Amino acid sequence: MGISELPPHYQPVLGQVVTSMLVNGETRNTLPVSDRGLQYGDGLFETIAVREGKTEFWDRHLARLREGCTRLGFDEPDLEELRREMQFLINGQHTREGVDQGILKIIVTRGAGGRGYCVPEAINPTRIVAFHPWPDIPESHTREGVKARRCHLQLGRQSALAGIKHLNRLENVLARTEWDDPEIVEGLLCSEGGYAIEGTMSNLFVERGETLVTPDLSHCGVAGIIRAIVMEEARSQGLSVAVADIRYEDVITAKALFLTNSIIGIWPVRELEGKEFAISSTIRTLMERLKARRRADREK
């Protein structure tokens, strides 16, 4: 969709400087202080890779967003409006900067209104769409792997919120404040029961024997888009894949480890708490398979 194809109510926007953020379709970067996303973290978000001017795995991000709206019990945003706004920002960045790569972040809150936890009967969801530059990620993170640590903070168990990308990210924020060593790229989070769950910004995979294992996220953690795709690709290659509880002791003694999310793709872990890991042939195969899946999704 080109900018000229946007509906009439966008036309005032087009006469202004091209923006990188829309709030309910308007070019602004402010919210009412009564918005429940600000007041209570009452909302959801998605972080989507954009390459060659196209979003990656949008259908999957949309499915998780819709599930989150259902789980939190508020109306999903107008999906056609959301698509137009996303494309408007992508087109605008290309027109102004010649940028075909970046990150789209979508935030949907329950909306503005109501003091206290009780939800007002009449309230409309707030939608925020922002385009961010692609981060400067060293190629060595993918090629040679990353150094990680175990975080002291433990994730609480709450099955009502498990899996979705809700706005309550204070656990991740606090965990990320635990280190400032630039060589450490990610921190591993465990649950209160001592089970490995995820990284502060990524999902975890453990190669144990001939089986690829990723933690059970029934009680906490985010069910990542790339996590699901990696499991599909692994099975298509005839690998044994399991979703199970993984104790930290099983992580540190594993054959190989890697991390995933929608922006980084796959990062092998080369070191965790002083223990070194090799990048296995399985990881390298999955990297190539994921690269092909990303390309195919952009071309469809």
**CATH number of the domain within which 159 lies:** 3.20.10.10
The pLDDT score that the predictor gives to residue 300 is 85
3 state SS of 177: coil
Q: Identify the domain boundary among 115, 133, 151.
A: 133
Looking at every residue in the chain, the average pLDDT score rounds to 92
Residues 290 and 235 in one domain: yes
Please compute Rg for the chain using Cα positions. 20
Q: Which DSSP letter does residue 60 get?
A: H
Domain boundary residue among 118, 133, 148?
133
Question: Which pLDDT value is given to residue 17?
Answer: 38
Question: Which segment of 4-13, 218-227, 280-289 scores lowest on mean pLDDT?
Answer: 4-13
- Lowest pLDDT segment from 6-10, 137-141, 271-275: 6-10
Per-residue confidence band for 140, with pLDDT thresholds at 50, 70 and 90: very high
pLDDT score, position 120: 84
Q: How far apart are CA 289 and CA 154, in angstroms?
A: 33
98 shares its domain with 155:
no
What is the 3 state secondary structure string of 111-164?
CECCCCCCCCCCCCCEEEEEEEECCCCCCHHHHCCEEEEEEEEEECCCCCCCEC
Domain termination residue (choose one: 112, 133, 154): 133
Q: Are residues 124 and 152 in the same domain?
A: no
Same domain for 165 and 71: no
The pLDDT of residue 259 is 98
Question: Does residue 129 sit in the same domain as residue 198?
Answer: no
Instruction: Give percent of the chain with pLDDT exceeding 90.
Output: 84
Instruction: Please check the confidence at residue 1 and state whether its pLDDT lies above 80.
Output: no
* pLDDT at residue number 193: 87
Torsions phi, psi for 214 (to 5 deg)? -125, 145
Q: How far apart are CA 238 and CA 183, in angstroms?
A: 35
Give the mean pLDDT of 64-86.
94
Total domain count for the chain?
A: 2
Same domain, residue pair 273 and 148: yes
Q: Which amino acid is at 94?
A: H
What's the rounded Cα separation, in Å, for the pair 113 and 110?
9
3-class SS letters over 86-110: HHHHHHHHHHHHCCCCEEEEEEEEC
Residue 22: Cβ within 10 Å count: 25
Same domain, yes or no: 147 and 291: yes
CA-to-CA distance for 132 and 21, rounded, in angstroms? 9
Tell me the mean pLDDT in the region 146-167.
97
**Closest by Cα among 214, 234, 240, 236 to 284:** 234
Domain that holds residue 154: 140-299
Cα 285 to Cα 291: distance, rounded to the nearest angstrom: 10
Of residues 278 and 15, more confidence is placed in 278
Range 286-297 burial, b when 16+ CB lie within 10 A, else e: bbebbeebbeeb
Q: What's the confidence (pLDDT) of residue 2?
A: 33
Tell me what pLDDT residue 39 has.
95
Identify which has the larger pLDDT, 155 or 119.
155
Neighbours of 115 (CB within 10 A): 8
Q: What is the CATH number of the domain that holds 45?
A: 3.30.470.10
Is residue 177 scored above 50 in pLDDT?
yes
Residue 240 has pLDDT above 90, yes or no: yes
**Domain shared by 280 and 151, yes or no:** yes
Give yes or no: residues 103 and 145 share one domain: no
Whether residue 171 sits in one domain with residue 115:
no
What would the two tokens of residue 295 be?
């390309």
Q: What is the pLDDT of residues 4-53, one digit of tens each?
A: 344 434 433 333 434 599 999 999 989 999 999 999 999 999 999 999 99
pLDDT tens per residue across span 79-112: 899 999 999 999 988 777 777 899 999 999 999 9
pLDDT at 144 over 90: yes
CA distance 141 to 187: 14
Average pLDDT over residues 109-134: 91
Q: What number is the average pLDDT over the span 67-77?
A: 94
pTM, entire model:
0.91
User: Residue 3 has what pLDDT?
Assistant: 34
Shared domain check, 17 and 129: yes
Q: Are residues 291 and 179 part of one domain? A: yes
pLDDT of the residue at 7: 42
pLDDT at residue 290 tops 70: yes
Q: Do the Cβ atoms of 84 and 92 come closer than 8 Å?
A: no
